[in-house]
């Protein structure tokens, strides 16, 4: 699943191409993934101009003139692809690693295309292989409400140490589970939680409320640093992520524990282990993380 750095990379790339473009035609191909009828979509969007693309956690919002918003969550296997003549801007989960064509499920549109929005100049495809993602229409009020479901947003000025520390009070869940909980802190997934806990020297199984003050300080700083670095590298390359230029992100070479089980820890030369915490595969170094 794309996490904050990957979704932010898609957002920035699509903004470069789509801002100021007008909707000319809409195709709704899947009523599970795309909420609302074709008529509703047409009525809301035809002739509307895209003004902005915003993000909260891993959720994207496309803002159009006339107080119309599209909310898109890619979840596990969603993709957004913008096609302008022969140029493709693709982001999300690649269906295959063999070629660009196969990564987006074949020539467009294809059987995975759930929503197609034709702009003057190009087409935006929302593809989703396993159909966990969604696209829905809303307005300013709806977007504000959707945003309220998320917790602290890292990389904004509202991400404050005091509020971060408050997340841990009385929380007996493992620290890993707390960091994955989108209603407490938004945008982190398995990769960036494992990496952040490694850099902080914290065992992912530790009960959140037992963390020392100093450890919370360090974790707070590390999360910001790890996310910023990942965005600067256009996200992480692994089996199911490809960024919106159709290129693999290149943060993977920087990963210290994620996907490195059985390999040597860069700090202590011990072995990185993979265990299950909060139901998720969790990578850590038992010597460096206490």
| Smallest separation, CB 156 to Zn ion (Å) | 32
Contact 100, 90 (CB under 8 A): yes
- Is 58 an active-site residue? yes
Count of CA atoms in the C-beta half-sphere (13 A) of 89: 15
Q: Which of 3, 6, 8, 195 is catalytic?
A: 3
Q: Give the separation between CA 234 and CA 5, rounded to whole angstroms.
A: 7
Q: Rounded to whole angstroms, what are the CA distances from 176 to 167, 197, 203?
A: 13, 8, 9
| Smallest separation, CB 150 to Zn ion (Å) | 33
| Residue 265 within binding range of Zn ion, rule CB under 5 A | yes
Question: Which residue lies nearer to Zn ion by CB, 1 or 265?
Answer: 265
| Residue 285 within binding range of Zn ion, rule CB under 5 A | yes
Stretch that binds Zn ion, among 130-138, 151-159, 191-199, 282-290 (CB under 5 A): 282-290
| Residue 273 within binding range of Zn ion, rule CB under 5 A | no
Interface residues for Zn ion in 167-196 (CB under 5 A)?
A: none
Stretch that binds Zn ion, among 42-50, 63-71, 248-256, 279-287 (CB under 5 A): 279-287
Candidate list 12, 131, 280, 287; residue touching Zn ion; CB under 5 A: 287
- Is 242 an active-site residue? no
| Residue 286 within binding range of Zn ion, rule CB under 5 A | no
Question: Which residue lies nearer to Zn ion by CB, 138 or 200?
Answer: 200
Candidate list 19, 46, 166, 268; residue touching Zn ion; CB under 5 A: 268
Candidate list 218, 267, 274, 280; residue touching Zn ion; CB under 5 A: 267
Contact 149, 187 (CB under 8 A): no
- Is 114 an active-site residue? no
- Is 280 an active-site residue? yes
Question: Which residue lies nearer to Zn ion by CB, 12 or 267?
Answer: 267
Which residue has the closest beta carbon to Zn ion? 265
Q: Give the separation between CA 231 and CA 200, rounded to whole angstroms.
A: 20
- Show the site string, 225-264: x = touches Zn ion by CB under 5 A, - = not: ----------------------------------------
Question: Which residue lies nearer to Zn ion by CB, 66 or 270?
Answer: 270
Q: Which of 58, 114, 216, 248 is catalytic?
A: 58
Q: Rounded to whole angstroms, what are the CA distances from 38 to 28, 137, 138?
A: 6, 11, 15
Question: Which residue lies nearer to Zn ion by CB, 186 or 265?
Answer: 265
Q: Give the separation between CA 86 and CA 8, rounded to whole angstroms.
A: 24
Binding residues with Zn ion: total (CB under 5 A): 7
| Smallest separation, CB 199 to Zn ion (Å) | 11
Residues taking part in catalysis:
2-3, 58, 280
Residue ranges in contact with Zn ion by CB under 5 A = 265, 267-268, 270, 285, 287-288
């Amino acid at each position: 699943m794309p996490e904050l750095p990957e979704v932010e990379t898609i957002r920035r790339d699509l903004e470069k191409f789509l801002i100021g473009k007008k909707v000319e035609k809409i195709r709704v191909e899947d009523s599970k993934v795309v909420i609302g009828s074709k008529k509703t979509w047409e009525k809301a969007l035809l002739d509307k101009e895209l003004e902005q693309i915003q993000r909260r956690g891993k959720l994207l919002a496309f803002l159009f003139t006339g107080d119309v918003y599209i909310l898109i969550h890619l979840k596990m296997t969603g993709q957004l692809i913008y096609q302008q003549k022969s140029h493709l801007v693709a982001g999300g989960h690649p269906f295959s690693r063999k070629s660009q064509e196969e990564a987006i499920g074949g020539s467009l549109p294809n059987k995975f295309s759930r929503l197609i929005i034709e702009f003057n100049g190009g087409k935006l495809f929302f593809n989703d292989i396993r159909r966990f993602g969604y696209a829905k229409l809303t307005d300013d009020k709806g977007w504000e409400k959707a945003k309220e479901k998320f917790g602290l947003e890292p990389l904004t000025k509202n991400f404050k140490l005091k509020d971060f520390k408050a997340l841990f009070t009385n929380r007996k869940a493992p620290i890993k589970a707390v960091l994955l909980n989108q209603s407490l802190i938004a945008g982190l997934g398995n990769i960036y939680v494992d990496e952040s806990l490694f850099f902080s020297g914290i065992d992912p199984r530790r009960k959140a409320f037992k963390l020392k003050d100093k450890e919370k300080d360090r974790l707070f700083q590390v999360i910001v640093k790890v996310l910023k670095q990942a965005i600067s590298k256009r996200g992480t390359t692994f089996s199911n992520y490809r960024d919106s230029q159709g290129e693999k992100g290149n943060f993977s070479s920087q990963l210290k524990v994620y996907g490195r089980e059985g390999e040597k820890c860069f700090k202590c030369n011990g072995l990185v282990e993979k265990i299950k915490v909060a139901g998720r595969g969790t990578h850590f170094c038992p010597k460096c993380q206490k």
